[in-house]
Amino acid sequence: MTPAARLSAAIEVLADIEARRRPASDALKDWGLGHRFAGSGDRSAIAGLVYDVLRRRASAAHVMGEASPRALLLGGIRLARNWSVARFDDLCSGARFAPEPLTDAERAALEHPSLADAPPHVAGDYPEWLDAQLAEAFGEGRVEEAQALAQRAPVDLRVNTLKTTREKAAAELAHFGVTPTARAPLGLRIVIGEDARAPAVQAEPAFQKGWIEVQDEGSQLAAQLAAADPDMQVVDLCAGAGGKTLALAAAMDNRGQIFATDTDKRRLAPIFDRLTRAGVRNAQVLAPRGKDDEPLAKLAGRADLVVVDAPCTGSGTWRRNPDAKWRMRPNSLDDRLADQAAVLARAARLVKQGGRIAYITCSFLPAENDGQIERFLAGNPGFRLIPPARVAEDAGLADLAAFTSIRGQGLQLSPRRTGTDGFFVALLRRVE
């Protein structure tokens, strides 16, 4: 496909997303099935265009003065990739498979795209109903924080110290141009260009040998902040596919015991192969046998550390899932708050006196973070907050103390602050 034909295809996919109110991944998949002549490079390039536009949907509509799929494509790519008007003129020629030529109004909008008069939620590209939450979290800097969340994310890898070192893994992956992550001591980063395909890391020998796992640097830091030590009894309460379980096992040097579980055993399906590949020997996967089954009942009051990678809105991952922010509704936040309260109550039953709960979200919304910790402490007088600066220092990450959350309950990472996805981490100690 020509670059012009890719633009036309992206407009078609955007129209499908709008008309059918469906996730971008579904629309892209259906487009590919209906256009089998398109190669993998074409599909990847079209997906890149679509996701870049979705990252800038509100600001693109503002710049162009309308929100049609074509206007969003033109405005979104102008803002996200800084294409010149001449480049748009070359591609929008009206020739076969190419978009129609620019109108005078479109050309004028593209020549001088300005967000100077845009309200914060438009300039920052997020739903208007979330403005109060972002204002609380980031104050006057909320637009800049949100704009950082509208950038394309890199691919981050965690090196598995049970099998290799960061230096050896970096040498093995040098053809990807990997660089060490800025803060996570075991991370490697791959920066992806605007038209480049995401690297097929899973096909690499280093991945197959269990040397590396794909894991955002923020997630790596969250696992490190939990401070799991060898010989501990650790519960990974919302283990899912096992990303943090693997990181915890490596931190514990395969000693002690990790009990990994999830309320939905289907989410646990990938964890078994991942544990084997990584060489993890100190983890047990305990899946619930029914709706009301508690597979951890025998561990009540015995855990040194309970890691709660809490169900949340995922607002901190908008760089990777840009269409998710536009599909988010107020009731979904209410649902997540209820889920978080339930999982924290469950964690409280498992942790022993002197033990800790590590509460983690991939969110920057204070209601899910500081607010959730404040509500838990108010209802559980036997627990105390470990000061965030102490959490950072104890984990060997003292520089993260500068990123204490707005109400002081935890550490708040973000693309603008730390160059990572948005993560919140708070630690609670049981004192009674």
Catalytic entry in 92, 238, 312, 362: 362
Q: Where are the beta strands (DSSP E) in 283-337?
A: 283-285, 303-309
Judge contact between 215 and 247, C-beta under 8 A: yes
Classify 90 as helix, strand or coil: helix
CB under 8 Å to 200, separation ≥6 — which residues? none
Q: Is-catalytic flag, 362?
A: yes
- DSSP for residue 151: S
Copy the structure tokens of residue 406.
């707005």
End-to-end CA distance of the chain: 66
Cβ-count burial 330-339 (b if 16+ within 10 Å, e if not): eeebeebbeb
Was 339 annotated as part of a binding site?
no
Was 304 annotated as part of a binding site?
no
Distance CA 129, CA 367 (A): 14
Copy the structure tokens of residue 234.
């650790």
Copy the structure tokens of residue 244.
């943090």
Judge contact between 56 and 75, C-beta under 8 A: yes
Rg (CA), the chain: 23
Distance CA 379, CA 48 (A): 46
Judge contact between 145 and 414, C-beta under 8 A: yes
- DSSP for residue 173: T
216: nearest Cα among 426, 427, 413, 417: 413
Q: Which residues are annotated as a binding site?
A: 262, 309
Catalytic residue numbers, as ranges:
362
Q: Which residues are annotated as a binding site for S-adenosyl-L-methionine?
A: 262, 309
